[in-house]
């Protein structure tokens, strides 16, 4: 099963990624990830498909090994290593699906980088594939780091659908949180998801870009912990904005508080090299984002006033967790 020598295992990964995307489109990701048996009727209901359609799709998933037979013919059990397979499929889905416009128009964009703006990515595909990668690629390391600090008040800048924040508030039953995102859709999703998770009364949702913290730092006021995942790099075209946002965070923190940035360095080497090269090339060439090196991340945080900065490698190639305090 070596990826280099067993050429068929690439076929497995490709098939899983395609099935996961179809299951997501049909509305079945929740059942696949639920960790419990489910029935054909649930598939038909979640997917709004006929019994025949539900049987056809689950039949394919059974054949692929993504489902196993349950205790009766109309019941299914999620297959082995579902979480690992979804995580690995995340790299395929981010590379091939989320970035589809940049791949399809690679020649045009290389000839005229500004033309990338004519080929926007589908925000939902970016969010879904990033979440799949993050499931092992960065969320666990970041969540462990944050939980170890037992923050009373947590702010997530660029919170997306709120998965990290809801997980944190679920594990910290006396804490409160703020989810800030510039997408109205993401804000609506986090409100709904927080309600379902029973943490809605402890979570404020703020619909704003992070740049707004320069004018009004109230969302981060008295936070014990501010997390920013893959959003600071979007402000780096104007370095003073990134620095100002981080300074606002630092000055607003409660005593002993810290800022944690989950983000990436460019062109990491060694085992990280292939995916890090893709991530860096697409950010630079198609998104006009020049990722900072580890030293540049440290310097940025020091300029924003932080005395202590530690940098830790995360699972996603090129990803780093920067913990800033003091």
Window 132 to 151, contacts with its own copies (CB under 8 A): 136
Per CB under 8 A, does 96 bind its own copies?
Answer: yes
Minimum distance between the CB of residue 191 and its own copies, rounded to whole angstroms? 25
In the block, which residue shows the tokens 């309600």? 195
Cα(201)–Cα(220) distance, integer angstroms: 18
> Which x/- pattern, by CB under 8 A, does the window 191-230 give for its own copies?
----------------------------------------
Per CB under 8 A, does 182 bind its own copies?
Answer: no
Sheet holding 176-181, edge to edge: 203-207, 176-181, 153-157, 225-229, 258-264, 319-325, 308-313
**Rounded (10°) angle between helices 8-26 and 82-93:** 90
In the block, which residue shows the tokens 């607003």? 252
Q: The tokens of 167 are what?
A: 């997980």
Q: Please answer whether residues 38 and 75 qualify as being in contact, where contact means their C-beta atoms are separated by less than 8 angstroms.
A: yes
Which region among 11-19, 168-176, 188-196, 245-253 touches its own copies (by CB under 8 A)? 11-19
Which region among 31-39, 148-156, 246-254, 276-284 touches its own copies (by CB under 8 A)? 276-284
Among 33, 39, 40, 64, the residue binding its own copies under the rule CB under 8 A is: 64
Among 124, 150, 196, 273, the residue binding its own copies under the rule CB under 8 A is: 273
Q: Please answer whether residues 47 and 32 qualify as being in contact, where contact means their C-beta atoms are separated by less than 8 angstroms.
A: no
CB environment 190-201: b (16+ within 10 A), e (fewer) = bbebbeebebbe
Site for its own copies, residues 281 to 310, rule: CB under 8 A: 281, 284-285
Q: The tokens of 65 are what?
A: 């090994």
Which region among 25-33, 146-154, 168-176, 208-216 touches its own copies (by CB under 8 A)? 25-33
Single out the residue of 203, 234, 216, 242 nearest to residue 324, CA to CA: 242
Among 31, 92, 228, 325, the residue binding its own copies under the rule CB under 8 A is: 92
Per CB under 8 A, does 40 bind its own copies?
Answer: no
How many binding residues for its own copies (CB under 8 A)?
Answer: 75
Q: Please answer whether residues 153 and 165 qualify as being in contact, where contact means their C-beta atoms are separated by less than 8 angstroms.
A: no
Cα(310)–Cα(247) distance, integer angstroms: 17
Query: What φ, ψ does residue 138 adopt, rounded to 5°?
Result: -150, -30
> Which x/- pattern, by CB under 8 A, does the window 70-89 give for its own copies?
-----------x--x--xxx
Per CB under 8 A, does 50 bind its own copies?
Answer: yes
Cα(140)–Cα(136) distance, integer angstroms: 6
Q: Please answer whether residues 217 and 248 qualify as being in contact, where contact means their C-beta atoms are separated by less than 8 angstroms.
A: yes
Among 100, 119, 167, 221, the residue binding its own copies under the rule CB under 8 A is: 100
Minimum distance between the CB of residue 73 and its own copies, rounded to whole angstroms? 17
C-alpha 32, offset from chain centre: 19
User: Which residue number, 116 or 259, has a Cβ lying nearer to its own copies?
Assistant: 116
User: Which residue number, 107 or 184, has a Cβ lying nearer to its own copies?
Assistant: 107
Minimum distance between the CB of residue 250 and its own copies, rounded to whole angstroms? 33
Among 34, 45, 48, 115, the residue binding its own copies under the rule CB under 8 A is: 48
Q: The tokens of 90 are what?
A: 């995340």
Site for its own copies, residues 243 to 272, rule: CB under 8 A: 267, 269, 271-272
């Amino acid at each position: 099963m070596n990826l280099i020598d067993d050429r068929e295992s690439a076929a497995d990964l490709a098939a899983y990624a395609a099935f996961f995307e179809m299951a997501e489109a049909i509305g079945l990701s929740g059942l696949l990830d639920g960790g419990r048996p489910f029935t054909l009727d649930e598939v038909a209901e979640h997917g709004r498909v006929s019994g025949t359609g539900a049987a056809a799709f689950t039949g394919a998933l059974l054949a692929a090994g993504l489902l196993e037979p349950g205790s009766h013919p109309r019941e299914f059990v999620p297959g082995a290593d579902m979480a690992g397979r979804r995580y690995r499929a995340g790299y395929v889905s981010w590379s091939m699906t989320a970035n589809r416009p940049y791949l399809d128009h690679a020649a045009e964009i290389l000839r005229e980088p500004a033309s990338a703006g004519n080929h926007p990515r589908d925000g939902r595909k970016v969010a879904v594939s990033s979440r799949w990668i993050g499931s092992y690629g960065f969320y666990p390391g970041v969540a462990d780091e944050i939980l170890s600090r037992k923050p009373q008040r947590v702010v997530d800048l660029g919170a997306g659908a709120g998965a990290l924040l809801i997980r944190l508030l679920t594990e910290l039953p006396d804490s409160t949180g703020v989810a800030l995102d510039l997408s109205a859709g993401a804000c609506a999703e986090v409100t709904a998801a927080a309600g379902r998770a029973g943490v809605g009364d402890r979570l404020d949702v703020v619909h704003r870009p992070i740049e707004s913290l320069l004018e009004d730092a109230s969302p981060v006021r008295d936070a014990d912990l501010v997390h920013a995942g893959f959003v600071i790099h979007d402000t780096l075209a104007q370095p003073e904005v990134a620095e100002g946002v981080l300074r606002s965070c630092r000055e607003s923190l409660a005593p002993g508080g810290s800022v944690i940035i989950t983000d990436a360095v460019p062109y990491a080497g060694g085992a990280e090299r292939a995916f890090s090269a893709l991530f860096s090339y697409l950010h630079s060439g198609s998104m006009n984002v020049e990722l900072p090196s580890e030293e540049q991340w440290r310097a940025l945080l020091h300029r924003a006033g932080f005395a202590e900065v530690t940098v830790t490698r995360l699972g996603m190639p090129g990803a780093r967790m920067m913990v800033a305090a003091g």
